[in-house]
Amino acid sequence: MPNIRLVFAGLARIAMKAKIIITPKKAVLDPQGKTVQSALEHMGYQGVAGVHVGKYVEIDLAPGTDRAAAQQALNEACHRFLSNPVIEDYKLEIE
Amino acid sequence: MNFAVLQFPASNCDQDAVHAARLLGHSARLVWHKDNSLGDADAVIVPGGFSYGDYLRCGAIARFSPVMQAVKQFADNGGLVLGICNGFQVLCEAHLLPGALIRNRSLQFRCEQIHLKTVAHDSPFTSQIPAGKVLRVPIAHGEGCYFADAETLSQLKAGRQILWQYCTAAGAVTDAANPNGAIENIAGICNARRNVAGLMPHPERACEPLLGSTDGRLIFESMLQTLATPSATLAA
């Protein structure tokens, strides 16, 4: 039977991580994606219907951060700064 | 007239902008991005370069520099602001201009002389450009492809906010004359109020015969003319 005090102490020290994927909007020209697709095809990979090149951002959150507050703050950060809503979409996950 | 030329970490066309203003007989000074004040500036130039290394997105970090608060205030009060290349990117990121600049469709960094057709002559940035004159100006950019969604584009057209389009030496707006894939060959625009403009080409490097063209002067002269005749301001 695990020591309950130690388990809770451990959980409090687990730092959360935000994982953000930023991709170009479908309406936006993605020449990088097209070039990578072309290269994949030249390399012999078949069945590639499309390639979209985006960005991945990982943010380490301080231990003890409130998840709901972090979700809200990060959504705002994604919308205001980490992505440009004119040309990009984003997906935010906190784990 | 006094030009305030902003300087972000890794701006590199700031000195050229100061030089151009002085060539035209006016004064210009550099304003560091951390300054909260533009001083007694009559106009602001947001220069070209690779501010913050183009990290995250071009201009994405520079737009949050302290000096941009002063620029926004200056623009809200009707002051003239010209963004050149990275400066255009900063102004779009700061939402002082609509749309965004993305990677050139060729994926190449294009460094060459291009030609511009002036689309709207009724602005503080184009008023002195003779009708029909094609401007020859250099570009030097990897992410100069202007993009705006359909709704924004139709607003730009309705508001006569498209100032310059890439064209051939003869003034024809063709796909071949488009160096970066910008929608409708858009090289530069202004805001609805017509006091803030941005363009990807470098007029500050087309002000003296030594550099191959003096057509860039016409853009600065348009600004100076507007500043010299406040009663004739073209602001909406």
Which residue in A35, A82, A87 is closest to B100 by CB distance?
A: A87
CATH of the domain at B175: 3.40.50.880
Q: How many domains does chain B have?
A: 1
Band (pLDDT 50/70/90 cuts) for residue A65 is very high
Q: Are strands B186-190 and B162-167 parallel, antiparallel or unpaired?
A: antiparallel
Compute CA distances B96 → A11, B27, B59, B66, B196, whole Å: 45, 25, 12, 15, 7
pLDDT higher than threshold 90 for residue B11: yes
Best residue in B97, B103, B110 for a mutation probing chain A (most A CBs within 10 Å): B103
* Closest listed residue to residue B86, CA positions, set B3, B180, B165, B14: B14
- How far is residue B73's CA from residue B168's CA, in Å, rounded to a whole number? 38
Give per-residue pLDDT as tens, B107-160.
Answer: 999 999 999 999 999 999 999 999 999 999 999 999 999 999 999 999 999 999
Q: What is the token pair recorded at B134?
A: 């094609």
- Name the active-site residue from B85, B92, B145, B167: B85
Give, for A4, the enclosing helix (H) or strand (E).
helix A4-13
Give per-residue pLDDT as tens, B194-236.
Answer: 999 999 999 999 999 999 999 999 999 999 999 999 765 444 3
Number of Cβ within a 10 Å radius of residue A72: 11
Domain that holds residue B187: 2-232
Give per-residue pLDDT as tens, A1-26.
Answer: 667 666 665 555 678 999 999 999 99
Query: ipTM of the predicted structure?
Result: 0.90
Under 8 Å CB pairs connecting chains A and B tally to 36
3 state SS for chain B: CEEEEEECCCECCHHHHHHHHHHCCCEEEEEECCCCCCCCCCEEEECCECHHHHCCCCCCCHHHCCHHHHHHHHHHCCCEEEEECHHHHHHHHCCCCCCEEECCCCCCCEEEEEEEEECCCCCCCCCCCCCCCEEEEEEEECCCEEECCHHHHHHHHHCCCEEEEEECCCCCCCCCCCCCCCHHHEEEEECCCCCEEEECCCHHHCCEHHHCECCCHHHHHHHHHHHHCHHHCCCC
pTM: 0.93
- Going along chain A from its start, the domains and CATH numbers come out as 4-23+52-94 (3.30.1280)
- How far is residue A13's CA from residue B208's CA, in Å, rounded to a whole number? 63
Which residue in B56, B57, B145 is closest to A29 by CB distance?
A: B145
Rounded mean pLDDT of chain B? Answer: 96
Q: Is A82 on the interface with B (CB under 8 A)?
A: yes
